[in-house]
Structure 1
Amino acid sequence: MRAADGLCALHRGDGCRKRGSGPADRKGRAALVVSLVFLYGPLCDTALRAVVLGGGVSVQAGSVAGVLHATAHGATWALGAGVVRGDLLRLTDEAAARLAFYARVTGQAAVPCEVALAEGSVAAVLYAGGDALAAWSAGDWERDFAAAAVAAARDVMGLYGVVAADVLARRYGHMLVRGAARVRAAVAGPVTARRAQGAGDVDVARVALPYANYFAVEEHDLRFRRFDGSFSDTVKRAAFVMGDAVTVLPYDPVRDRVLLVEQFRAGPYVRGDGECWSLEAIAGRIDAGESPEDAARREAVEEAGLRLGALELVAGYYPSPGAVTEFLYSYVALADLPDDAAGVFGVEGEAEDIRGHLMGFGRLMELVASGEVNNSPLILTALWLQRERGRLRAG
């Protein structure tokens, strides 16, 4: 994908666009623009709607009756049965175009409908697709997804008029993961020895997106406040954009053994390492709407067929803060690890081929000392376990 040099709104979500550009699909056709739109489900959330539409709109409560069907990206979706309540919006052409762009990114298609209002009814369109309405509840969405969806929408709409909707649609799931990471990152951490960041301490002149696929690369031209109070010169800093992730090392305190997983890794291969199969703790991305603890338990089932007991947090940390956005939550989990606990697992659709290794604690530390264990999460976790092992065994 070409560099998105106009990506100055990536973090602000203020709809910055290249002059003369507008939303279009990959064949260059203009996106559907309408003036009356019925919104239901998550887009009735005022914060999300404000990010997507970019300004104030006329809103009126309404409802749609019956079963409606829409085809989006080759799939057919049903909009519930009975009465679906939502909001009728009268949009400017610009707001309608922004909504059409966002709908395309999130896998929705326009469907004509009849909206019942207090004073009668009116013809409009609605967007159906993405997550089926039957699987959506306001309470669950607000608790688990709202903050991440709003953060992801800021990223999506920051690319409006800069990157084609179909390009973003292919990685919207990853953008949701990043949105959830933004929400966790916004929670203030301890500041006792390091400098406390203040408003205006980082001044961004330009943001570009030279690459975006499963991962992404962002370039920022920025100035930062120096320790003497002055600003640095404008510098270019690139970051490899990844979502937050978890690692978890299952530990059986009765048998004093752990379970490691082994799999092929692209990082060592691309570096030129002669040994590209890596011994690691169980690991994986934290999905949007998922806590780090829930992700650790899910990954243990997927990668090792294990149900974990109590989780002990080792640390939350950036493995390489100079150039990588990834933040890791590492755990040790109490587990029952009999002799038949190890096997070969993995999610087939993700091309995972993961072998488990049962070993005593002493053997784990031998592998750390020899360098055969050579990734930071497992080394860090092994050293934590070395310190806390007596407590866990006594418990």
Structure 2
Amino acid sequence: MAEFFFYGTLRHLPLLSVVLGRPVTGEAAWLPGHAVRQAMEGAFPVLVEQPGARAEGIVVRDIGLAEIARLDHYEGGFAFDTVEMTVQTTQPEMARVYRPRPGQWQAGAPWVLADWQARWGDVVTETAHDVMALHGTMPADAVLARYPQMLVRGASRLRARTDAAPTALRLAAQPGDVQVLSRRTPYARFFAVEEYDLTHRLFQGDQGKPILRAAFIACDAVTVLPYDPVRDRVLLVEQFRTGALARGDRQCWQLEAVAGRVDADETPEATARREAVEEAGLTLGDLLPVAQYYTSIGAVSEYLYSFVAPCDLPDGLAGTHGVEEEGEDIRTHVIPFDRLMELVGSGEISNAPLIITALWLQRERPRLRGALQV
């Protein structure tokens, strides 16, 4: 058994419980001559030497070898290793402390646990389930490489629990209706593929036999179609798309709405506004919800929030945009609404989010033009 001192995110007991695999409590403690600082590279803290300071934390005792291996997997993913240090509780005592490897992270402003809990606590705790599911199957450095994508997936899962849609006609699932017997991740980079051995409740009431299912893990995303109700025109983006290439489509450049992935610390609305600036140079005001939906529910986890944004689209607005560091090369088009519907009808617009949004706008356009014209 060993004693550990936690000064950073693992002071958040729900997170520590996920990492250890059991409920846990801690005793208040502090480490003299050190301070806790925000890592410049991510939403986690680092421990730095600072004479006269004290790093607040907790001591957890009686941690076994299997739990130490779980901690090493989690903290090793952030390039942290343990050292023995003297910490203070009611008296000085030795404890293991995770410290960043030299030169790995840059220390920034003071790190405050309450601020981190308010912004990141739920998302990081949810993501820890995925991190720990890879214990023994994926090296810690490989987990670190995927961690930003894993955070986005954790945030998507939290929204899935809080944004539950009605069950007026379909089966209302109850705890135990789906039982995951095992989960594997045969591929994991920017996206991931997961395989499940599972059983689920059958319509006649019995639990079904074990089946194998696979899912392509793509997180929550947003589309937003800028619409000028005075000039009756929309803004589209055009860019190269790998999905079309993979299908064998010679026309890999697609016409779409502004779109992007919802980052772990964003709302869908914030994402829509950020992407409009990045992809079209537009600052959006109101966002009108169109629909929330899965893109291909049979095997893809991606879930979209689609909006229409009434805004000003004057002549000369079209151009090229995109974030160069992300390899984006985006051209914008400002076209009349009638031209939009012609492109939907001809099949030149062939992606579901823009088709759905165009049909919504076709229905709501008279109301928007009447209400928003000036």
Q: Same fold (TM over 0.5)?
A: yes
The range that moved more, 36-45 or 256-265, is 36-45
Q: Which residue matches 1:292?
A: 268
- After the TM superposition, which of the residue ranges 80-89 and 203-212 deviates more from structure 2? 80-89
Say if 1:117 and 1:231 are closer, same or farther in 2 by CA, change over 3 A. closer
Map of 2:99 onto structure 1: 127
What is the DSSP-based 3-state SS (H/G/I as helix, E as strand, rest coil) of the residue aligned with 1:170?
A: helix
What is the identity, as a one-letter code, of the residue corresponding to 1:208? R
Counterparts of 2:179 and 2:98 in 1: how far apart (Å)? 40
- Cα deviation per residue 1:44-85 (whole Å; 9 max; x = unaligned)? 111001001223556221223445699x9x999663853321
Return the letter of the residue paired with 2:150: M
Describe the SS at the equivalent of 1:126.
strand
CA contact (8 A) 2:7 2:36 kept: no
- Is the CA contact (8 Å cut-off) linking 2:4 and 2:60 kept in structure 1? yes
The residue type equivalent to 1:210 in the other structure is P
SS of residue matched to 1:297: helix
Q: Secondary structure at the match of 2:190?
A: coil
Q: Once the 2 structures are TM-superposed, how far is the Cα of residue 372 of structure 1 from its aligned partner?
A: 0.5
Distance 2:363 2:111 in 1: 45
CA distance in 2, matches of 1:220, 1:180: 21
Q: Which moved more, 1:75-84 or 1:286-295?
A: 75-84
Matches within 5 A, 1:326-341: 326-341=302-317
Q: 1:103 aligns with which of 66, 75, 86?
A: 75
Q: CA deviation at 1:88?
A: 2.1
Inter-CA distance 56–369: structure 2 relative to 1 (3 Å threshold): closer
CA distance in 1, matches of 2:355, 2:319: 23
- Whether 1:79 aligns to 2:51 is no
Q: Alignment length, in residue pairs?
A: 360
Moved more, 142-151 or 351-360: 142-151
Deviations 1:69-110 (A, max 9, x none): 99x9x9996638533211122332322221121012234344
For residues 302-341 of structure 1, the aligned pairs below 5 Å read 302-341=278-317
Q: One-letter code of the match for 1:79?
A: V
Asked whether the 8 Å contact 2:5–2:95 carries over to 1, the reply is no
Q: 1:154 and 1:228 mapped to 2: Cα distance?
A: 32
Q: What is the CA distance between 1:256 and its match in structure 2?
A: 1.5
Question: 1:278 — aligned with what?
Answer: 254
- SS of 1:336 mapped into structure 2: coil
Partner residue, 2:215 = 239
1:292–1:140 CA distance, 2 compared to 1 (3 A): farther
Q: Percent identity?
A: 50
Change in Cα spacing, 1:332 to 1:136, as seen in structure 2 (3 Å) is: farther
Q: Which residue of 2 aligns with 1:170?
A: 145
Structure 1 contact 36–125 (Cα < 8 Å) conserved:
no
- Tell me which stretches of 4 or more aligned residues in structure 1 moved more than 6 Å: none
TM-score (norm 2): 0.88
CA change 1:393–1:130 in 2 (3 A) is: farther
SS at match of 2:26: strand
Distance 1:281 1:360 in 2: 14
What amino acid is aligned across from residue 56 of structure 2 in structure 1? Answer: R
Pair 1:175–1:300, CA change in 2 (3 A):
same
The aligned amino acid for 1:150 is T
**Cα distance, 1:320 vs structure 2:** 0.5
Q: Which residue pairs with 1:190 in the alignment?
A: 166
Residues 199 and 69 (structure 1), Cα distance of their counterparts in 2 relative to 1, 3 Å cut:
closer
Which letter does structure 1 place at the counterpart of 2:8?
G
Of Structure 1 and Structure 2, the greater strand share is in: 2
Partner SS, residue 76 of structure 2? helix
Instruction: Please say if 1:160 is aligned against 2:135.
Output: yes
